[in-house]
Structure 1
Amino acid sequence: MPATTWIQHSVIFTLKHAEGSELEQKFLEDGKAILSSIPAVQQFRVFRQVSPKNDYKFGFSMEFADQAAYEAYNAHPLHVSFVEERWVKEVEAFLEIDYSEV
């Protein structure tokens, strides 16, 4: 992949927490605060999934200027820590999709 290729990173997921619970809200808020603070992350958004076509409940979406920025995000200590300490423990199911423009 060329170094200049912009990347849209999206992950849709369902949490183990009860719907509407404080734990659910805290995960979404913490995810946004922690992950959006990583320098390579642009346009971080949190979504509630509304389609009846799948069972996922939420989405995180963010953009990266290029492959190097995406790799820096994946290796960043805040991302690694969030995945190990929160994601693995609190997410029931997920699907990750990375896009670049054609």
Structure 2
Amino acid sequence: MIEHLVWFKLRADAPEAAKERLLAELVALKDRIPGILDASAGADFSGRAAGYTHGFVVRFVDRAALEAYHPHPAHRTVVEQHVEPISEGVLALDYEHD
């Protein structure tokens, strides 16, 4: 199983509606891309995220599913239409476990 963790630094001047739409679109990818077992997204509340404001976690069945995810049109659409317009930075980490 693969865990794909993504942190976003969303612009402070980005409208709340755009932030909420981004989170909803990210989670909806689980119904649009094969190989995703689960997905969740939300805003940081701890203040310990080194300036990253929001997080996204996706669980994939295997590495092949993760590799197919990045170029998938649904993922590219979310990145281009919802992430890039309001993001100042993105950090991702992937790991495998049983």
Indicate the percent of aligned positions where both proteins have the same amino acid: 31
**1:78-98 superposed Cα distances (whole Å, 9 cap, x missing partner):** 112222222222211121011
Query: Could you tell me which residue of structure 2 aligns to residue 3 of structure 1?
Result: none
Mark the CA change 1:56 to 1:83 in structure 2 (over 3 Å): closer, same or farther: same
Greater Rg over alpha carbons, structure: 1
Gaps spanning 5+ residues in structure 2: where? Answer: none
1:31 offset after TM fit, Å?
2.3
- The code of the aligned residue for 2:45 comes to V
Query: Could you tell me which residue of structure 1 aligns to residue 52 of structure 2?
Result: 56
Mark the CA change 1:19 to 1:83 in structure 2 (over 3 Å): closer, same or farther: closer
**TM-score, normalization: structure 1?**
0.78
C-alpha RMSD over aligned residues:
2.1
Gaps spanning 5+ residues in structure 1: where? Answer: 1-5
* Distance of 1:40 and 1:17 partners within structure 2: 33
Mark the CA change 1:24 to 1:18 in structure 2 (over 3 Å): closer, same or farther: farther
**TM-score, normalization: structure 2?**
0.81
Report runs of 4+ in structure 1 exceeding 3 Å deviation. 17-20
Number of matched pairs: 96
